[in-house]
Amino acid sequence: MEGVSFMELDELKSAWQVLDRKITREAEVSFALYRERKLDKTRSTLRPIRRGQVLQLIWGIGIVFLAGLLWSTKPTAVATIAAGVTVQLYGIVCIIFAAVVWGGLREIDYADSVLEIQSKLARVRKAYVLAGMAAGLPWWFLWVPFLMVFAGLAGVNLYAQAPSLVWIGLGVGAAGMAASGWLYRYSRDRSRPRLHRWVNDAMIGRSLQKAQAQLDEIRRFEQEG
C-alpha cells in the first residue's frame, strides 16, 4: 500500500509539474501576444511623428532653396545678405533636427526589451522637444528676415526702405520670446495642471506621450507578471 501511495504521489507531483509548465507556457504566450499588440499600437502612434519629420525635412529644403534664389540675384545690401544667411541657417537647422528625430525613431527595435525601447524613445522625445523649439520659437523673429528675403528677391532693400518696420518687428519678436519663456516657467507650477498639460502637449506632442504611456503599461504588466 505504501508503494502504491508513493507511486500515486509521484504521479500527482509529475502531473502538477506538467500543469505548471503548461500554465507557464500559456502565460508566456499570452504576454507575448499582449506585448505584440501593444507595440503595434505604439508603432501606429508614432507614425504621425515620422510623417511630421518628413514634412519638416521638405520644409527645410524649401527654405534653403529660397535662400539659394536670393543668392542667385547677387544681393549687395548687408542687411539683405544677413537676412538671407539667417533664413538659410534656419532651413539647415530644420533639416538637421528632422534627420535626428527620424533617425532616432528608426533606431527603435521593437524586438528589444521594453526598457531599451523606453530609453530610445526618451532620446527621441528630447530631440523632438529641441526640434520643436528650434523650428517654432524663432518665428517670433524669423518673419522679419523672411520678409527681407522676399523683398530682396524683388530687388528691394527692406531695411533701407522701411527700417522702422524691421526694428519694430524685432522688438515684437523679443517681447514674444520673453512671453514664451515666462509662460513656460509659469506652467511648471503643478498647481496649474491644465496649463501644465497644455504646454506639455504643445511641446512634446500627444503621440509621444501616448506611446510612452503604452510602453509604461507593458512594463507594469511585465513586472506584475
Query: Of the ranges 47-56, 59-68, 73-82, 177-186, which one carries the lowest mean pLDDT score?
Result: 177-186
Which pLDDT value is given to residue 191? Answer: 73
pLDDT of residue 185: 79
What confidence category does residue 74 fall into, taking pLDDT thresholds of 50, 70 and 90?
A: very high
Q: How many residues does the chain have?
A: 225
- Residue 183, pLDDT above cutoff 90: no
pLDDT of residue 1: 45
Specify the DSSP element, H or E, that contains 137: none
| Whether the predicted pLDDT of 37 surpasses 90 | no
The pLDDT value recorded for residue 219 is: 74
Q: Summarize the confidence of residues 162-176 as an average pLDDT.
A: 91
| 184-197 pLDDT per residue, tens | 777 777 777 776 66
- Determine the Cα–Cα distance for residues 113 and 222; give it in Å rounded to an integer: 11
CA-CA distance, 149 to 74, in Å (whole number)? 12
Residue 3: pLDDT above 60?
A: no
Helix (H) or strand (E) holding 116: helix 114-136
Q: Which three cell numbers stand for residue 110?
A: 521593437
Q: How far apart are the first and last CA of the chain?
A: 42
8 Å CB contact between 157 and 80: yes
pLDDT of 18 higher than 70: no
Residue 49 pLDDT: 87
Better-scored residue on pLDDT, 8 or 60: 60
Give mean pLDDT, residues 118-144: 87
pLDDT for 66 equals 96
CB 214 within 8 A of CB 42: yes
pLDDT at 167 over 80: yes
Residue 136 pLDDT > 70: yes
140 vs 145: CA distance, rounded Å:
11
Average pLDDT score, the chain:
82
Report the helix count and the strand count for the chain, using DSSP H and E: 8, 0
**CB of 170 within 8 A of CB of 141?**
yes
CB neighbour list of residue 11: distance below 8 Å, 6 or more residues apart: none
Over residues 96-116, the mean pLDDT reads 87
